[in-house]
């Protein structure tokens, strides 16, 4: 049987840092509330497009795997915050990399997009459709953020990472996964202001406001991730004691603690980035994976559990067997330019742009009408 080993990894984090203190300059919030409720201290704000972040992360991942861009058969771009919808974003990465042979597709399952993309690439490798895939998890949430809504503005950040997945005869890569969607709760997380439901009513696309039922998402996310983790462990015939490392979606430290406690895995086996980067949606899991490798926390042959949830509410848990190599074969010199403004200045620019747009009727009174 053909397996799909993860052979390269790379991240691209924009350097501008938005602290809790920065947020409290324009929001009724404070460091104590944010840290105690979420575990977050900082997040990043990108000064470049999502595709630019994805290109840097992809170049690092390809160098790490020792793979030439021309040998990539498939690019899967996991994200819910695209620079544009048509053409797709994966094709933009493809052009910049010179991956001329590749097929390119975008996958949007919100925060789980990287893991659903990993499932897609793994399935295509296992069935012989492709041999080498690049899987990206990227998010540029700052331009879409409802910056004056303290319920959401403190939670999210921008970032990106990518992995290279290659056909292998060794039992490596995704051993199994559990995918699902709690669609009856889809109204609990909605970004209003993107798509025809809004533009048909005169709303400028991107002039967004968020519907966000945090406590309900919290409960559903914990139950969903625990059930998915238990299901995938059962499917693969492993117990919590067999897990070497947990790399979870990083939406809230309290959610992560609840999931691993109920799954029977100790917290010292969990890779955390939530304090430094907040919730980067599709980018959280691959960035945490890349940092686990950078920090020497990934051991050769490790069994890794990756539970996640996102808008939809999509849920999933993957079990990955790492290979023998935990160090990069090479490093690319690709890097982002330096930002000209601070994170707070960039956020203030976005807020000013949105308040100028408020001269038209905007989203006032425009709600999404559930069709089903
Ligand atoms: O990846 C998918 C997206 N991520 C999520 O969906 C995250 C899931 N939910 C959560 O992480 C948590 O529910 C939150 C962090 C969003 C909220 O934590 P909570 O413990 O569930 O707090 P809460 O919603 O019950 O709010 C408690 C209070 C409220 O005030 P009142 O009504 O009790 O007076 C909020 O208005 O905290 C208030 N509050 C804030 N206060 C200061 C909400 N946001 C803030 C804030 N600063 N930023």
Distance 261 CA to ligand 1 centre (A): 21
> Tell me, which fold does domain 3-326+340-371 have in CATH?
Peroxisomal Thiolase; Chain A, domain 1 (3.40.47)
Q: Is the pLDDT of residue 178 over 90?
A: yes
β-pairing verdict for 103-107 and 74-78: parallel
Average pLDDT over residues 113-140: 98
Tokens of 84: 């544009």
pLDDT of residue 77: 98
By three-state DSSP, how is residue 269 classified?
Answer: helix
Sheet holding 132-139, edge to edge: 103-107, 74-78, 132-139, 159-168, 3-12, 173-181, 314-321, 303-310, 245-246
Q: Is 236 a catalytic residue?
A: no
Sketch the domain layout of the chain as residue ranges.
3-326+340-371
Point out which residues pair with 106 in neighbouring strands. Answer: 77
d(CA 134, CA 152): 31
| pLDDT one-digit tens code per residue, 29-38 | 999 999 999 9
Return the half-sphere exposure (C-beta side, CA atoms, 13 A cut-off) of residue 250: 29
Q: If you search the block for the tokens 């049987």, which residue do you land on?
A: 1
Ligand 1 nearest atom to the CA of residue 189, by list position: 6
**Residue indicated by tokens 């544009």:** 84
The answer to whether residue 360 is catalytic is: no
Helix axes 31-38, 253-263, angle to 10 degrees: 20
Q: What is the pLDDT of residues 226-246, one digit of tens each?
A: 999 999 999 999 999 999 999
Per the prediction, the chain carries an average pLDDT of 95
Verify whether ligand 1 is closer than 6 Å to residue 224 (CB atom): no
- pTM of the complete model: 0.96
Average pLDDT, stretch 202-206?
A: 84
Given a contact cutoff of 8 angstroms between Cβ atoms, the answer to whether 67 and 166 are in contact is: yes
Q: How confident is the model at residue 221 (pLDDT cuts 50, 70, 90)?
A: very high
Does 110 have pLDDT greater than 50? yes
Identify the three-state secondary structure at position 185: helix
Interval 318-370: pLDDT, tens = 999 999 999 999 999 999 999 999 999 999 999 998 876 555 556 666 665 55
Mutational pocket test of ligand 1: of 112, 151, 224, 281, the residue with most ligand atoms within 8 Å of the beta carbon: 151
Q: What is the model's pLDDT at position 303?
A: 98
Q: Is the pLDDT of residue 76 over 60?
A: yes
Prior bond of 248 cis (ω within 30°)? no
Mean pLDDT across 268-294: 98
Place of tokens 């492993």: 238
Mutate-to-test residue for ligand 1 from 37, 108, 190, 224, highest number of ligand atoms within 8 A of CB? 37
């Amino acid at each position: 049987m053909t397996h799909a080993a993860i052979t390269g990894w790379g991240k691209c984090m924009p350097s501008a840092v938005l602290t809790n203190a920065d947020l409290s300059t324009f929001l009724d919030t404070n460091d104590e509330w944010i840290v105690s409720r979420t575990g977050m201290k900082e997040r990043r704000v990108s000064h470049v497009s999502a595709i630019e972040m994805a290109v840097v992360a992809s170049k690092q991942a390809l160098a790490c795997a020792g793979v030439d861009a021309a040998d990539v058969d498939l690019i899967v771009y996991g994200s819910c915050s695209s620079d544009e919808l048509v053409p797709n974003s994966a094709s933009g990465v493809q052009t910049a990399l010179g991956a001329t042979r590749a097929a390119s597709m975008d996958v949007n399952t919100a925060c789980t997009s990287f893991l659903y993309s990993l499932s897609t690439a793994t399935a295509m490798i296992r069935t012989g459709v492709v041999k080498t895939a690049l899987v990206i998890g990227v998010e540029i949430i700052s331009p879409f953020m409802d910056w004056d809504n303290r319920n959401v503005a403190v939670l999210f950040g921008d970032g990106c990472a990518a992995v290279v997945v290659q056909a292998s005869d060794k039992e490596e890569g995704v051993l199994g996964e559990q995918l699902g969607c709690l669609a009856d709760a889809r109204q609990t997380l909605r970004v209003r202001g993107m798509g025809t439901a809004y533009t048909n009513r005169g709303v400028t696309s991107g002039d967004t406001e968020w519907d966000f039922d945090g406590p309900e998402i919290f409960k559903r996310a914990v139950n969903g991730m625990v059930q998915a983790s238990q299901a995938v462990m059962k499917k693969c015939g492993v117990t919590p004691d067999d897990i070497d490392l947990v790399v979870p979606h990083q939406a809230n430290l309290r959610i992560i603690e609840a999931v691993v406690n109920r799954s029977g895995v100790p917290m010292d086996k969990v890779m955390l980035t939530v304090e430094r980067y907040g919730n980067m949606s599709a980018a959280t899991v691959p960035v945490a994976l890349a940092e686990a490798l950078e920090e020497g926390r990934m051991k050769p042959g490790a069994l890794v559990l990756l539970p996640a949830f996102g808008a939809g509410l999509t849920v999933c848990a993957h079990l990955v067997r790492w290979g023998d190599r935990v160090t990069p074969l090479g490093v690319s010199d690709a890097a982002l330019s330096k930002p000209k403004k601070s994170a707070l200045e960039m956020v203030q620019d976005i807020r000013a742009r949105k308040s100028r747009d408020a001269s038209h009727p905007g989203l006032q009174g425009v709600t999404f009408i559930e069709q089903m």
